[in-house]
Each structure stands twice: as C-alpha cells, then as structure tokens.
A and B are shown apart, each in its own frame.
Chain A
C-alpha cells in the first residue's frame, strides 16, 4: 500500500491543489411518486494533471454526479438538494445560469459515451468547434476557423482541412469521439469530465482514444474525471479511484492500493467476478465468483449499508450506515468490516 508510482501526486500537500472538489453532493429524482436518491452525500476531488477514475455499475450515481457538477441535471424531475461543487474554491451551485454557462465548455469540458447525442447533426464539425471558441474566447471568425482545424489536427484526425467541412454522420464512431475531445479541449479547460468515453467503441479504437486522452493531459495538465464501469480502463489510466455503489462512495484509493488491497466487499466482488485475460491458462470455464442479487432500486434503498443484502460479510452492525474511514494514507472505505 506504500508503493506509489512516480506519476501520482499523493501527498496531503497535493490535495491542497484540488482543481475541482465535490463536497457532500446530494441529487435526487422524483420517480413514480417516490424520491430516488441518485447521489447521496458524495465527496471527491481531482488535482491538476491527475486522472481520477470513478467506477460503478449502472445506477450507482457516477454519471449523475458529473451532470450535477455541470449543472445539467434535468429539473424536474431531478434536483440538487445539497452539497457544494467547488471549482478553485468557488461554489458552482451558487452561480446563476449565465455565469454557469461561462464555466461549461470553458473551464470544465465534458465528453459522453455517445458523441452523436451531443453533436449537432446539421452543423459541420468545424462549425461546432468554432461556436465554442467564439463563445468563450472572443476569437474572430477567421481565428476560430483556424482553431477548429488546429484542434482536429491535435486529436490526430487525418486531413483536418477537409474534415472540418464534414457533418457528424460522415464520421466513424472513433472519429466522432475525437471531435468531441477536440471540442471539449478547444478552450483549454482545467477539468475534463469523460463519462464512459470509450464504452461504445471497439477495443482497438478504445486504445487509440485512451492514448489520445493521456497525450492531451500530458500536454495541458488538465485534471480528468474518468467515469467508467470498466476496471481495466481504470487500471490503465487512473491515478486515484473512487468506487460508487447505489448513490454512495464506498471506497477511494490510489490506483495501486485499490487493486493490491481492495477493502470494500463490493470492490472485491467486482474484481473477482469478471473473467480476466491475464488469469492463468487452464482456469477458464471454472465458476466465476458471483455477487448475488442485484443493485437495489434507488427509491427503495435498504437501511444501513446499501450493499449489505448482497454482502458475504454482512452482520448485525451493517444495519447502521458505515462511515467512510481512512485505513491507509488516501485509502478510504465505508464498511464496518473493511479492516478484517
């Protein structure tokens, strides 16, 4: 647990340099007459030049947390009911909409799983990048056009002068994701939130896009929040990792510590239940360790620890909500029995 890669800023001093800090964020949805606590008191931060991986399954709140940061939660039915989202210490939840609009795309960029849903189908990709930089950076039309070509070249799109004149449907999925990255980075944001950026892509294209994101980060020092369900992607890209389950952060750790010594039974369950390409030959076709049952409905959450009904270690104590406790420097878990 002591060994950390050279590239990981992990001293308490480094924590001071958090670009984005989420504190006790609570976001709820009105659904079927009940309240779904999609994000229920989540805190995390990301430092300059760092990649924070946020892992969890569908419905764990990892994407809603990101949308809350961007203040893009549809209201109604959604509502941010508590907490703070601090960008360099300034609470974004206090900003009026015009001020928030200057933050979005300019200070915080975001890319999504399916670029087609966030690209405008009737505008050329060049025009879409131009709009962003014209809005945020006061560039002339000509400067903006040059910037669009430059951004496409930066994300390694071949023949950028020709591609700027094309429409999203003329591009492949991988190329569209490159355009999204170009657009998100066109104003040199301090934070890039990438929500399942490679989930819809084939593995060889995924490898290209992850390499591109890493390259862009080295070039710009952008803090990245990488949201994914894929532990492989996390292991390859993140410096620190937050694991979420049913609206809560259940574990947080430097990436080495998380994979070397996962503390929360949910994290452990996730790691052993997936078949691995690097498992020894001959172990194929055995029975995979299962996490029994399924993720609880957010409008009918169990009392106490939300993982308890599926947990092999659950005990009487787990009827009370476990606090997040630090077990090793930077390694937190919310489990009564994590130390055992």
Chain B
C-alpha cells in the first residue's frame, strides 16, 4: 500500500504547522469466515487506505453510496471502532496509538453528531442533563459553570431554556438533532464528525439545521468532517469534497471544482444520477449500469472498472493512485483529464 497524496505531498519534516487532522492510509478490515468450521477466511475491506487532511475551521464533505466505507472511516478515525492500520493525527497527536485513558482526554477535541440522535441519547435523562454529561465526564467547570454553559449552548442551537427539563422523546426530529449538536459542542471540540446529520430530517427542517451548523462553525471555528450521501447538501456546506467508492477515495477536490469539473468517471456518474428539481432540465441521462460490487471480493485494479464507461485493460490490472491534477484537485483514475499546466506523471 503506497501512501497517497491527497492534498499534495506532506512531509513530517515540514515546517508549516500541521493541519488539524491528518489521516494517512487509514484501513478498517473485518475478517470474515465462512464454510464448514469457518475454514474459509475472507476479509471485508470497508476502508482500504484513505488519506486526507482537514484544516481548522474547514469542512470536508465525505460522500459516496451505501457500503462505500464513509461512515466506517468516520468512526475509525475517531476510534469509535479500532482502525486496522494507518495513522490519524489530531493537533499533531497520533490518535491510533493512544491508551484508552489518553484517548478519552483527546475525545474532548473530536465529537460526533449522528443521523438519528435518538439512538445516542439516553431516554431517561433530561435534555439539560444530556448536554451537561460530557462536561462532567471531562471534568470541565463546577456545577454553576456547567449550568451556565448548558444554558448558553441551548440558546446557540435554538432550543429554549424550558426545553432543558424535557426528555428526548418530547422533542421533534429537528429539535432532537439540535440537542445532539449541543451535546457534541459541550466539551469545546475542534473537530466535529457529522455522520448524515441532516438526512433523517424533513426538507423544511433540514435547512434550519444546515444553517445552524454553518453558523456554529463560524462562531466556534469548528472543523467539520461532513459524511453524507446528499450531494446538494454537501455542496452547500463543504469547502472540499472527497468521493469514496468501495473503501477508497476516488476523487478529492475543492467543492466548486468537483461539481463543475468532476474528473473521475464515478463522480461524473454520481452527479449525473441526481434528479434536478427543474422539469425543464429533465434529461435522458446516461444511467450507470450494475450495482456496487461486494467489498469482500472487490474487482481487481480499479474497483470501478466493471461499471466504468471508459475502462480499458489497464484498469483491470493496475490500481490507480489518487494523483494530483493541480489546484488541489486529485483523482484516482488512469484517464482523469489533467489541466495541461498541472500534468504530472506519477510513478506506476
């Protein structure tokens, strides 16, 4: 496995300050066994060597279809599940090698917001206690300071002081997500990993929560890893976007460039497939054929080659590295068009 250069070469010796989050060659594999007595060993490569960086205050969108590994990647980099291999540095600290006590201390810096906050909120605790809980866990402030912090957070996420005494089931979906956000922000993280944080919400409420996330990011200088399947929301909220397919990042680019000039055939197909809410733009699209293959036995070479309209023999054999196309745009395709000025040959 070669280290890939998602955002240009990064050397540890660099004198520039390191980005908030540096993920290098992250893997999450699940051993599977089948057959009589479990003698047939197989590996599910949910995340198969991904690398990216995230700066303070920046939003990176991580997109892809179900099973592409985007949620697993988010959990593995926070060590909510243990990564199989690779490096995750947060604020220059190697997360993957921390003891559980050291990890707990670092968790203050990285918090998560999930799709369905209901499943992550203790139904027997009041909303106020739920937001105070991380403060107590991390030993932040005395009772009075915590109370003030909780009140402040309720205001910032658009909940009323009276809501503090309510239980999770008494909230609507949108309010519950506001509560989940308040809880994530309580310990003052630098990084928030949002795993489909607005996907379960109705359209009219989704805009409220998207606006809230953007506002809170500015107020607290948060970095977001925004994991989602809805590309319109991702385009709205992200500075850069990484597209995953079968455990690998196939394209990573500034948001404007990715949507205006998608370089990878999979990204192109994904964008083509999204219905546009304008009946005048109804089109005869080129529908991507087939389905995502199993990550247990992924295709050789480029994982996308069996469905790719421009695949050649080379794609069946050679794994394309994520290569720099210039201007922060990189794609893992042998035939990704490179801007002439930025053409750069990578060693095979």
Residues of A with Cβ closer than 8 Å to B?
5, 57-58, 172, 174-175, 202-208, 210-211, 229-236, 255-256, 259, 269-271, 273-278, 281-282, 284-285, 287-292, 294-295, 310
Residues of B within 8 A of A211 (CB): 287
The answer to whether residues A294 and B278 also contact, given A207-B273, A275-B235 and a CB cut-off of 8 A, is no
Residue of B nearest to A278 (CB): B276
What string of 1s and 0s marks CB contacts (under 8 Å) between B261-303 and chain A? Answer: 0000000011111111111111001011101100000000000
Please tell me which one of the listed residues A207, A232, A275, A310 contacts residue B288 in the complex, with CB atoms under 8 A apart: A207
- When the two chains form the complex, which single residue of A175, A284, A290 contacts B208, counting CB atoms closer than 8 Å? A290
Asked whether any CB of chain A lies closer than 8 Å to the CB of B311, the reply is no
Which one of A231, A233, A284 lies within 8 Å of B236 (CB-CB)?
A284
> Does any Cβ of A come within 8 Å of B214's Cβ?
yes
Q: B207 at interface (Cβ–Cβ under 8 A)? A: yes
Q: Which residues of B contact A295 (CB under 8 A)?
A: 202, 204
**Most chain A CB neighbours (cut-off 10 Å) among B202, B204, B238, B276:** B204
Q: Which of the candidate stretches B95-103, B184-192, B226-234 sits at the interface with the other chain?
A: B226-234
- Can you give 26 A-B contacts (C-beta < 8 A)? A57-B203, A57-B204, A207-B287, A207-B288, A208-B287, A229-B202, A229-B203, A231-B203, A232-B275, A233-B275, A235-B278, A256-B279, A256-B280, A259-B277, A259-B279, A273-B203, A274-B203, A275-B237, A277-B271, A281-B256, A281-B259, A284-B256, A285-B237, A287-B214, A288-B211, A290-B208
**Interface members, chain B 13-33 (any A CB < 8 Å):** none
Known contacts A174-B291, A275-B232, A204 near B276 by CB under 8 Å: no
From known contacts A202-B65, A236-B275, infer whether A274 and B207 are also in contact, taking CB-CB under 8 Å. yes
Residues of A within 8 A of B273 (CB): 203-204, 206-207
Interface residues on chain B, number (Cβ under 8 Å): 47
Q: How far is the CB of B163 from chain A (nearest CB, A)?
A: 13
Q: Are A275 and B236 in contact (CB under 8 A)?
A: yes
* Cβ A203 vs Cβ B229 within 8 A: yes
Q: Is A288's CB under 8 angstroms from B275's CB?
A: no
- Name which residue of chain A comes closest to B172, CB basis: A294
Residue numbers of B with Cβ under 8 A of A are 65-66, 172, 174-175, 202-208, 210-211, 214, 229, 231-233, 235-238, 255-256, 259-260, 269-282, 285, 287-289, 291-292
Tell me the nearest residue of chain B to A297, going by C-beta.
Answer: B172
- Taking a contact as CB atoms under 8 Å apart, the answer to whether A203 and B203 are in contact is no
A58, B172: Cα distance in complex, Å? 12
What 3 A-B pairs come out closest when comparing CB atoms? A232-B275, A275-B236, A202-B65
B274's contact among A208, A270, A277, by CB below 8 Å, is which? A277
Contact A172 B279 (CB under 8 A): no
Q: A235-B277, A256-B280, A277-B271 are in contact. Are A203 and B65 (CB under 8 A)?
A: yes
Cβ contact within 8 Å between A294 and B279: no
Q: Are A275 and B233 in contact (CB under 8 A)?
A: yes
- How distant is the Cα of A172 from the Cα of B172 in the complex, in angstroms? 32
Q: Is the Cβ of A259 less than 8 Å from the Cβ of B278?
A: yes
Residues of chain A within 8 A of B211, CB atoms compared: 287-288, 290
Contacts of B285 in A (CB 8 A): 207
Tell whether, in the assembled complex, residue B210 and residue A288 are in contact, meaning their CB atoms are under 8 Å apart: yes
A274 vs B281: C-alpha distance when bound (angstroms)? 17
| Contacting pair B202 A276 (CB below 8 A) | no
Residues of A within 8 A of B233 (CB): 275
Minimal beta-carbon separation of A216 from chain B (angstroms): 15
Known A273-B204, A274-B207, A275-B232: A235·B65 in contact at CB below 8 Å: no
Query: In chain B, what residue has the closest Cβ to A238?
Result: B279
Q: Roughly how many angstroms separate A172 CA and B280 CA in the complex, as a whole number?
A: 33
Q: Do A278 and B207 touch across chains, with their CB atoms under 8 A apart?
A: no
CB neighbours of A285 from chain B (8 A)? 214, 236-237
Q: Is the pair B275, A273 in contact by a Cβ cutoff of 8 Å?
A: no
CB distance from A163 to the nearest CB of B (A): 14
Q: Tell me which residues across on chain A come within 8 A of B256, comparing CB atoms.
A: 281-282, 284
Whether B260 and A281, one on each chain, are in contact in the complex, defined by CB atoms closer than 8 angstroms, is: yes
What is the minimal beta-carbon distance from A215 to any residue of chain B, in angstroms?
Answer: 11
Q: A259-B278, A277-B232, A295-B204 provided; 4 other pairs, C-beta below 8 A? A: A174-B291, A202-B229, A204-B287, A235-B276
User: Complex formed: what's the CA distance from A269 to B207 in Å?
Assistant: 10
What is the CA–CA distance of A62 and B207 in the complex, to the nearest angstrom?
A: 22
With A207-B285, A277-B232 in contact, is A172–B291 under 8 Å at CB?
yes
- Residues of chain B within 8 A (CB-CB) of A229 are 202-203
Contact (Cβ within 8 A) B274 A235: no
CB <8 Å contact, B278 and A274: no
How long is the Cα–Cα vector from A58 to B204 in the complex, in angstroms? 11
Nearest A residue to B208, CB-CB: A290
In the complex, what residues of A have CB within 8 A of residue B172's CB?
294
What residue in chain B is nearest A291 (Cβ atoms)? Answer: B204
Closest B residue by C-beta to A212: B287
The docked-state distance in angstroms from the alpha carbon of A172 to that of B236 is 31
What B residues does A294 contact at CB under 8 A? 172, 174-175, 204-205
Q: CA of A175 to CA of B278 in the docked complex: distance in angstroms?
A: 28
Min CB distance A306 to B, Å, is: 13
| Residues in chain A near residue B291, CB distance under 8 A | 172, 174-175, 205
Q: Tell me whether B287 and A232 are in contact (CB under 8 A).
A: no
What separation, in Å, do the CA atoms of A12 and B207 have in the docked complex? 38
Chain A nearest CB: distance from B118 CB in Å? Answer: 14
Q: Are the CB atoms of A274 and B275 closer together than 8 Å?
A: no
Q: Which residues of A contact B280 (CB under 8 A)?
A: 256, 259
Neighbouring A residues of B277 by C-beta, 8 Å: 231-232, 234-235, 259, 271, 274, 276
Question: Which residues does chain B contribute within 8 Å of A284, judged by CB atoms?
Answer: 235-238, 255-256
Residue of A nearest to B237 (CB): A285
CA distance A285 to B217 in the complex (A): 11
- Verify B279–A236 contact, CB threshold 8 A: yes
Are B206 and A273 in contact (CB-based, < 8 A)? yes
Q: How far is the CB of A266 from chain B (nearest CB, A)?
A: 8
A207 — nearest CB in chain B belongs to which residue? B273
Determine which residue in A58, A210, A288 has the highest number of CB atoms from chain B within 10 A of its CB, and name it: A288
